[in-house]
Structure 1
């Protein structure tokens, strides 16, 4: 089984302000970029339990990059915030199996 992280140079997540998370898929090449084209709002919503209507996906084919943003489940630094910098949010996406395998 091939995962997104197997095809990527880097998969990372970070804060996009205190209320949003951004995840970035830096794919190795155009083939890897095409392989992750199945990642859409529905898949992200299922992985992160967020409303698909709040998810923003930006695709940059010339750089083989996919950027995904959605509201944080709790605001940064709040009492229930378990990942202050959103540095671990990318893991479920990175471990997602690429279709066709």
Structure 2
């Protein structure tokens, strides 16, 4: 069954992980959905690279963080925080592509 990530996650957010990296947090609504998401690897390097139009090598890591029912993904920031022309110094508006991501559970 396909569903949008926003329908199974309680929180989807992005933030700086230093001036050269962005981290995305997906916190799931319940334990069963979190475990299924982890088992099926619905968030993986290829998906993140495709969503953010970056090479797979720029996906630094994907971490399953069980205490928070969360999956965290970190990427190389396409533009350093505060660099001339960069429009989101805090990285707080970069999660939008994840919101409507359709996943198979």
TM-score by length of 1: 0.88
Q: Does 1:75 align with 2:76?
A: no
- Name the counterpart of 1:35: 37
- Name the counterpart of 1:63: 68
Matches within 5 A, 1:41-56: 41-55=45-59, 56=61
Q: Does 1:89 align with 2:94?
A: yes
Shift, 1:19, TM fit: 0.4
Q: SS at 1:74's partner residue? A: coil
Matches within 5 A, 1:6-45: 6-33=7-34, 34-35=36-37, 37-45=41-49
Runs of 4+ in 1 over 2 A off after TM superposition: none
Shift, 1:62, TM fit: 4.2
Q: SS at 1:2's partner residue? A: strand
Q: Distance in 2 between matches of 1:96 and 1:7?
A: 11
Shift, 1:84, TM fit: 1.2
Structure 1 stretch 34-43 or stretch 11-20: which is displaced more? Answer: 34-43
Shift, 1:63, TM fit: 3.0
Q: Distance in 2 between matches of 1:9 and 1:70?
A: 22
Q: 2:37–2:43: 8 Å Cα contact kept in structure 1?
A: no
In structure 2, list runs of 5 or more residues that go unmatched. Answer: none
Q: CA RMSD in A?
A: 1.6
Q: Distance in 2 between matches of 1:40 and 1:23?
A: 12
